[in-house]
Structure 1
Amino acid sequence: MKEFLQEGDVIELTANHRVYAEVPCHFVYANKKGDFSLTQHDVQLSGDFDYLQGKYIVTKTEMTGGGTGHGANDAFPDGHKVTCKREDGKYTVSFYQSGCFTAMIKDITPIAEATLQWKIAE
């Protein structure tokens, strides 16, 4: 298995990827046509959501999201969750690299590394 992404990694998300993002209800719920308020949902980055494609900086990683189902021994482990912000700062998306989730990107390689720099506001 490849290594998990870390904070500061830069990745490129394309039409082949599925992520969790805040998107208008209009595009994900049949009974919400005309409702452009935002909802968190898993989306494929193509068609109505191709605007979410681009270069992203990983801002947070954590092992989370696990739980249990309704049957005996119906347990789902935590997964490696990656949260990232597009380089222009417009969008934040997340996905998992392990576990059992709808937005999974197991095979992704960083294309660069970003650094965080603090500056005193004047």
Structure 2
Amino acid sequence: MSTTDDRGRREALFPALDAVAQVAEPGQLRAVAYLRVSTEDQRKGYGIAYTGKRVVKHIAHKGWALTNVFADEGFSGSLDYAQRPDVKELMRQARMTPKPFDVVAVYEDRAIGRKGRAF
């Protein structure tokens, strides 16, 4: 995601998750959360906010700094990562030097995608 609107949408996720973006202390791991739901029902029920809050709590429990949140709503896990905007951006950033994060946290492996297709 390279537009200001896309960055703003991701930044808007922080309040929905009861979280704030953090700057890592020296030696602290920098974590990003990746969240995905594929259906409209999941978006309304146990979706991004529910799973995101659990991921944010896990990151805090580990003592990591939450630096960013990526979320693809309404995208099937059977799609290649390049077909999902936020995971595509996450992967672009993962290839950067220096790396902007150390750890990607997900609620469950299905968020990344179905085996053999995601990456």
Per the shorter chain, which TM-score range?
Answer: under 0.3
**Higher percent of residues as strand:** 1
User: Larger relative contact order (C-alpha < 8 A, sep ≥ 6)?
Assistant: 2
Q: TM-score, normalised by structure 1?
A: 0.24
Q: TM-score, normalised by structure 2?
A: 0.25
